């Protein structure tokens, strides 16, 4: 990894260089009922529209890699038979500007399932391969517990990572493409003072974390507390709306739909993201539902994130961004659920 430092007025120049391709970045999307700004990722054409001071986005950047709905293939009748067409968007290059460490780590976790598994997802892999990612140091919110999950910093999964030092940016350069872009703006080698300022910024960030999750021996605790009354208590609160999965940066469950034209001249196969909290998630042929109760669905969501994924990949699927708890209409948060299960109910 290489390090560079550059003045803040060089960042718009870097943006202009990157803008030869579509740039996706955090922008303001109005305010909430208390007048607090709301942010989300969107395509940006002007550097002035970027909000690099954003706290968190409503949705994660996952949808640019794993859309909520995606056409897998189309079929048409040609010469008396069905002809299949697939578009993977392999050559479409994009730039993701200003991704926080937790969201970078979320993509790294999705990579394990959708790229590095025995059954890789070519659609996801193509988008991941052609996305230039610039990470950005964040300021934790009260609901952030990414430090507990070990995702408050990123070691890979990005091309460049920026830390605001006040009058300049400290840049971590991880790819050859990033190095080539940095060669076209004015930079310098970091000195001792830059290193000290960087460490001070990180230390100040670490001191801001309020929410915590005790993940020590959590897989064992979950096995022991499988029948804990805590699951029923939280399940009774759960509205089974799926909002948590909608905003989660690591949920990847999906369903596939096939729709054929009534005149049999065409068909479309579509993949749509699903949520294990929805009542029809576990419905199988014949109409039987393996998880008809909300508390069972909620429990298995937590077991997937903090038990099953850990067993398979030795790390939790949750990155501690806090979006699910913030969006939950019933006020269910990961720290509260885990704490109550640890207490046995």
Least confident of 79-83, 299-303, 306-310: 79-83
User: Rounded to the nearest 10 degrees, how much is the dihedral formed by the CA atoms of 272, 301, 121, 284?
Assistant: -60
Least confident of 31-40, 87-96, 218-227: 87-96
User: Are the beta carbons of 204 and 240 closer than 8 angstroms?
Assistant: no
Least confident of 47-61, 66-80, 114-128: 66-80
* pLDDT of 139 over the 80 cut: yes
Residue 142: is it exposed, middle or buried by C-beta count within 10 angstroms (0-12/13-18/19+)?
exposed
Given this model, what pLDDT does residue 197 score? 97
Which string of b and e fits 8-39 if b means at least 16 CB within 10 Å?
eebbeebbeebeeeebbbbbeeeeeeeeeeeb
Given this model, what pLDDT does residue 315 score? 96
User: Are the beta carbons of 24 and 43 closer than 8 angstroms?
Assistant: yes
Given this model, what pLDDT does residue 101 score? 97
């Amino acid at each position: 990894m290489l390090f560079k430092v550059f003045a803040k007025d060089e960042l718009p120049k870097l943006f202009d260089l990157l803008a030869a391709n579509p740039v996706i970045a955090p922008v303001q999307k109005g305010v909430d009922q208390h007048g607090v700004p709301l942010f989300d990722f969107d395509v940006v054409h002007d550097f002035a529209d970027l909000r690099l001071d954003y706290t968190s986005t409503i949705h994660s950047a996952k949808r640019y890699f794993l859309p909520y709905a995606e056409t897998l293939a189309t079929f048409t009748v040609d010469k008396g038979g069905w002809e299949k067409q697939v578009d993977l968007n392999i050559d479409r290059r994009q730039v993701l500007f200003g991704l926080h460490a937790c969201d970078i780590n979320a993509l790294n976790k999705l990579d394990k399932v959708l790229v590095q598994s025995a059954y890789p997802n070519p659609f996801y892999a193509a988008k991941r391969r052609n996305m230039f990612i610039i990470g950005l140091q964040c300021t934790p919110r009260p609901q952030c517990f990414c430090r507990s999950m070990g995702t408050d910093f990123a070691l890979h999964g990005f091309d460049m990572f920026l830390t605001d030092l006040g009058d300049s940016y400290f840049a971590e350069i991880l790819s050859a493409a990033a190095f080539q872009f940095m060669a076209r703006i004015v930079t310098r080698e970091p000195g001792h003072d830059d290193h000290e300022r960087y460490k001070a910024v990180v230390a100040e960030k670490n001191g801001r974390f309020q929410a915590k999750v005790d993940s020590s021996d959590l897989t064992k605790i979950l096995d022991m507390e499988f029948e804990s009354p805590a699951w029923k208590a939280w399940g009774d609160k759960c509205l089974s709306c799926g909002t948590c999965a909608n905003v989660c940066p690591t949920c990847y469950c999906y369903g596939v739909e096939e729709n054929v034209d009534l005149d049999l001249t065409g068909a479309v196969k579509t993949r749509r993201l699903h949520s294990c909290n929805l009542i029809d998630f576990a419905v199988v042929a014949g109409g039987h539902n393996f998880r008809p109760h909300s508390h069972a669905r909620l429990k298995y969501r937590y077991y997937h994130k903090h038990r099953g994924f850990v067993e398979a990949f030795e790390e939790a699927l949750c990155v501690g961004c806090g979006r699910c708890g913030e969006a939950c209409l019933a006020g269910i948060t990961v720290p509260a659920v885990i704490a109550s299960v640890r207490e046995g109910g």
